[in-house]
Copies of this chain bind each other. A is one copy, B any other.
Amino acid sequence: MNRKQLFEQIKRKRSYLCVGLDTDIEKIPKHLLKQDDPVFEFNKQIIDATREFCVAYKPNIAFYESLGARGWESLKKTLEYIPKECFTIADAKRGDIGNTSSLYARAFFRQMNFDAITVAPYMGEDSIKPFLAFDGKWVILLAHTSNPGSADFQLLQTREGKFLYEEVIFASQLWASPDQMMYVVGATHEEKIHSIRMLAPDHFFLVPGVGAQGGDLKAVSKFGMNAQCGLLVNSSRAIIYASTKEDFAEAAGREAWKTQKDMDQYLSEYL
């Protein structure tokens, strides 16, 4: 899916919500455990309940990998089940030397057919380039993440007086255009979103940290939105675990709908 198509979906659905499929076998409702593939069954019902309110799904690969080969199958079935008009993100945070990154790209873009993958920048350009070699696919590069530890290195200041995450945004813009690259910018740094938007005016930001992690959707939208929206705001736990009982899908749909209503309003105000 290209940038224009993504923006079309956002306008059509009046939503820039990404639903994070952090599906934990230990947290899903107990009645699903008698199914052949409880993780897929959970995802299927979550997708059915939320698809009209969101434009993207982001399976968190750790949750599937921790189940071994079986988890891999659940992930594959989930990806095939996601409606074609939705943007799909493998939240994998990969990144390795060139020949190895190529294989991760093959895994997520060919073995599976994700639109995008999250990538860690520490190993530099040749660790990222192989992901960009796939036509129509996206790298979502970690810039300033939502977790407390994001301060440890991302906020180190360089001799030029820039934060490390700013250096990452500067350097990586030489490697890929806004049609191939997005940045992860945590909602927990809402005070910085305006300045990050100045650094990368045209890029989409994938914004985690709204909901369970405490970020504020209104502030993120006000300071982060650009002329093509430029935001995919992720919510995982607040939606998929809105209820832990048999009504989990209905509850997830309701949460997603509430978020979409807010987004509808912010699109009217800030776009």
Contacts and interface: CB of A to CB of B under 8 A. Distances in A.
Given A76-B68, A96-B93, A153 B121 contact: yes
A108 to B, nearest CB: 9
Contact of A73 (B69, B94, B152): B69
Contacts of A106: 66
Contacts of A103: 24, 62-63, 65-66
Interface stretch (A8-16, A36-44, A139-147, A238-246): A139-147
B93 A124 contact: no
Interface stretch (A155-163, A189-197, A258-266): A155-163
Contacts of A112: 68
A142 B65 CA distance: 21
A144 to B, nearest CB: 10
A201 interface: no
B72 A147 contact: no
Given A95-B93, A156-B158, A60 B100 contact: yes
Number of copies: 2
B68 A111 contact: yes
Nearest to A68: B111
Nearest to A152: B124
Contacts of A157: 158-159
Interface in A124-154: 124-128, 142, 145-154
Closest 10 CB pairs of A and B: A124-B149, A124-B152, A62-B103, A69-B69, A126-B149, A69-B72, A66-B107, A97-B147, A66-B103, A125-B149
Interface of A: 22, 24, 60, 62-63, 65-70, 72-73, 76, 91, 93-101, 103-104, 106-107, 111-112, 120-128, 142, 145-154, 156-159, 161, 164, 167-168, 171, 213
Given A121-B152, A122-B122, 4 more contacts: A22-B99, A128-B149, A153-B164, A156-B167
11 contacts: A24-B103, A62-B96, A62-B101, A63-B100, A68-B76, A69-B69, A120-B122, A122-B145, A124-B150, A126-B147, A128-B149
